[in-house]
């Protein structure tokens, strides 16, 4: 049986945990748990539900409300802008998240190359749903969400808002097959013992047995990390270590309590490199074991928060199946790899188990919403817009091979935001007069589309200008936005901001992979949106957009939507009050 063993050593005087905070005096009304499953496409979820491989999600759809055909996210269909759109109810032209990295502002003090993480709370320029709910006096707990950081000043001062780790520590775990390993400069020894392994560092000694999750809290290490012993037969074993997660909360007392009682869950992907595909079944099992470690940490932290801070609105997040789909989808759909398909089914089963556990925890009197930021499609070609700009004379390569901004008029975004920025004089290092911006943007658009037509084919790349479409508000930092199209199965290409050598091809073949970006209306790039529980009808609707999510939740709560929201509440999903 899986169990969690806590190893907490003495902390220095004056830095010990505070007294456990009592649950809020105010009895919660309606309770809604929001779970984001990163990258789960609606079409894939629908297929797996029909096959009986995601029964818990299917049960929610059978009794609840779902976005039939999927929900249309932000442009580009990437994690940070799509989540920002879900949380705020507005597009990137208002919330300011243009990609997973977003341009640094103001323009006059930053070049087109300078970016910041698009997941940061301070990068979000619109009000998120948790802040709108707390402002209305509703109780809110954020276990994990993009753009939520308990150390950020923007979410302090709300008595009814409890926020924990936020979206931080983007680190990969270690696979440990020998001793010692090091965390924050402290060496940990690993030795085989009967029935498991022992891990030690100074006075700390932890015993880890197959299938156990052991949380380690060492006084000389900045946070908590987890160990999981994956053993697949009598002779092979691998010790997995999660990211070292420093605990964050809106108060020191809550931070200490969360660390002591639950640990320090933070976003951590389970990348195990090429070892998944070396032909051995045990290494495929290893990937599933690492995913199980991640899911268990999300489950433990979320159930703790629901129990200790029962709120009207609870947010949590899982970085799967996005990671697995990047690794596996191309192999499955292009190469017909059955082993990859089996691993993906295992990952989806773990995701579905989390859905079932949270639905059970919220109970018949509570509701649950399951969403995803975007979908995914296979791709096996890369196209280089910056190379097309160089060959059109709009971009200049310096002596070092890097882009020379002093001689460059237009650049395809270095933050992989699928847009071209004209290097205007209102930016640091800009050379194009601002009044000439549109002319240079048109030249860049023509150059890239012509190159794509020659190398990829007619209609395989589309261009959009801000204001062209009302389906999504294109970010204001892009002058021309581009999207690969789809043949209904795969994307025609992945757009890369890299600048390969001058003699390189505009298009390069790559091993099939899963990819998402560009136009969120492409059916395979549409996300999931499901509501179930009291206050929600059994219904379905087409044409659902991510901007409608926050207004719908706000209407269910009986509060105003976030201040910047442009979406509308999905009234067909809501029961009459």
Instruction: Write out pLDDT tens, residues 368-399.
Output: 999 999 999 999 999 999 999 999 999 999 99
Residue 167 CA to residue 145 CA, distance in Å, equals: 6
Express as a percent the part of the chain with pLDDT over 70. 91
Mean pLDDT over all residues of the chain?
89
Instruction: Give the per-residue pLDDT at 345.
Output: 97
pLDDT, mean of residues 425-453: 97
Predicted pLDDT at 235: 66
Q: What is the pLDDT of residue 479?
A: 95
Q: What does the pLDDT look like over 138-156, one tens digit per residue?
A: 999 999 999 998 888 888 8
pLDDT at 162: 93
Tell me, what's the pLDDT at 4? Answer: 37
Q: Domain spans of the chain?
A: 379-515
| Eight-state DSSP code of residue 245 | B
Span of 19-33, 44-58, 420-434, 535-549 with lowest mean pLDDT:
19-33
pLDDT at 274: 63
Output the pLDDT for position 535.
96
> How far is Cα 383 from Cα 342, in angstroms, rounded to an integer?
31
The 10s digit of each residue's pLDDT in 249-260 is 888 888 888 888
Residue 554 has pLDDT above 90, yes or no: yes
Q: What is the pTM of this model?
A: 0.92
What are the residues whose beta carbons fall under 8 Å from the beta carbon of 135, sequence distance 6 or more?
158
pLDDT at site 8: 35
The yes-or-no verdict on residue 9 having pLDDT over 50 is: no
Q: Which residues pair with 482 in a beta bridge?
A: 463
Residues 37, 48: Cα–Cα separation, whole Å: 15
The DSSP symbol for 168 reads -
Confidence band of 425 (pLDDT split at 50, 70, 90) = very high
Please tell me the predicted confidence (pLDDT) of residue 38: 96
Q: Which segments within 139-185 are labelled E, that is strand?
A: 140-142, 161-163, 174-176, 181-183
Averaged pLDDT, 173-195: 84
Instruction: Kindly tell me the burial class for residue 16, based on how many C-beta atoms sit within 10 Å of its own C-beta (0-12, 13-18, 19 or more).
Output: exposed
CA distance 41 to 523: 9
Pairing of the two strands 4-8 and 213-217: parallel
Task: Measure the CA dihedral 251/252/257/263, to 10°.
Answer: 100
Q: Which has more confidence, 460 or 11?
A: 460
What integer pLDDT is reported at residue 17 of this predicted model?
A: 29
Confidence of residue 14 (pLDDT cuts 50, 70, 90): very low
Look at residue 275 in the predicted model and tell me its pLDDT. 65
Whether residue 367 contacts residue 30, with contact meaning beta carbons closer than 8 Å, is answered with: yes
- pLDDT category of residue 172 using cuts at 50, 70 and 90: low
Write out pLDDT tens, residues 201-233.
999 999 999 888 888 989 888 888 888 888 776
pLDDT tens per residue across span 333-376? 999 999 999 999 999 999 999 999 999 999 999 999 999 999 99
Report pLDDT for 29.
67
Average pLDDT over residues 488-499: 95
Q: Where are the alpha helices (DSSP H) in 383-479?
A: 385-391, 437-455
């Amino acid at each position: 049986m899986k169990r969690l063993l806590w190893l907490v050593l003495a902390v220095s005087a004056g830095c010990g945990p505070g007294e456990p905070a009592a649950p809020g005096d105010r009895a919660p009304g309606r309770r809604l748990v929001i779970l984001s499953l990163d990258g789960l496409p609606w079409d894939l979820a629908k297929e797996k539900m029909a096959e009986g491989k995601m029964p818990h999600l299917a049960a929610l759809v059978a009794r609840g409300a779902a976005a039939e055909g999927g929900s249309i996210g932000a442009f580009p269909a990437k994690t940070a802008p799509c989540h920002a759109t879900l949380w705020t109810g507005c597009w990137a032209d208002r919330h300011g998240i243009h990609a997973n990295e977003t341009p640094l502002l103001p323009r006059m003090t930053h070049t087109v190359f300078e970016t910041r993480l698009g997941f940061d709370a301070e990068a979000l320029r619109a009000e998120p749903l948790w802040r709108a709910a707390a402002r209305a006096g509703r109780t809110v707990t954020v276990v994990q969400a993009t753009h939520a950081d308990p150390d950020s000043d923007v979410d302090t001062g709300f008595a009814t808002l409890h926020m924990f780790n936020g979206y931080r520590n983007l680190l990969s775990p270690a696979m440990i097959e020998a001793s010692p390993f090091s965390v924050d400069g402290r060496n940990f020894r690993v030795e085989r013992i009967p029935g498991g392994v022992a891990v030690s560092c100074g006075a700390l000694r932890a015993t880890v047995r197959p299938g156990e999750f052991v949380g380690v809290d060492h006084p000389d290490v900045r946070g908590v990390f987890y160990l999981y012993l994956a053993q697949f037969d009598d002779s092979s074993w691998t010790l997995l270590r999660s990211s070292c997660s420093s605990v964050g909360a809106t108060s020191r007392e809550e931070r200490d309590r969360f660390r002591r009682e639950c640990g320090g869950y933070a976003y951590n992907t389970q990348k195990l490199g090429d070892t998944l595909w070396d032909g051995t079944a045990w290494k495929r099992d290893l990937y599933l074991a690492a995913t199980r470690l991640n899911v268990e940490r999300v489950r433990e932290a979320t159930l703790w928060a629901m129990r200790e801070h029962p709120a009207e609105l609870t947010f949590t997040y899982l970085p799967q199946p996005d990671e697995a789909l990047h690794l596996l989808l191309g192999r499955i759909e292009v190469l017909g790899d059955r082993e990859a398909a089996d691993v993906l089914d295992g990952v989806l089963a773990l995701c579905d188990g989390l859905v079932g556990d949270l639905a059970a925890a919220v109970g018949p009197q509570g509701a649950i919403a399951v969403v995803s930021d975007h979908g995914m499609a296979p791709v096996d070609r890369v196209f280089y817009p910056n190379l097309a700009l160089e060959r059109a004379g709009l971009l200049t390569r310096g002596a070092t091979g890097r882009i020379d901004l002093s001689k460059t008029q237009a650049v395809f975004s270095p933050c992989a935001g699928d847009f071209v920025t004209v290097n205007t004089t209102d930016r640091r290092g800009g050379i194009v007069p601002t009044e000439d911006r549109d002319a240079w943007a048109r030249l860049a658009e023509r150059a890239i589309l012509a190159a794509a037509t020659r190398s990829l084919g007619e209609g395989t790349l589309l261009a959009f200008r801000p204001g062209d479409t009302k389906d999504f508000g294109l970010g204001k930092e892009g002058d021309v936005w581009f999207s690969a199209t789809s043949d209904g199965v795969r994307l025609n290409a992945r757009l890369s901001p890299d600048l390969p050598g001058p003699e390189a091809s505009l298009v390069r073949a790559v091993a099939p992979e899963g990819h998402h970006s560009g136009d969120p209306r492409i059916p395979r790039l549409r996300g999931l949106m499901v509501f179930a529980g009291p206050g929600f009808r059994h219904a379905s609707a087409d044409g659902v957009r991510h901007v409608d999510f926050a207004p719908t939740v706000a209407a269910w709560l009986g509060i105003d939507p976030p201040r910047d929201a442009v979406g509308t509440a999905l009234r067909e999903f809501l029961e009459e009050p």
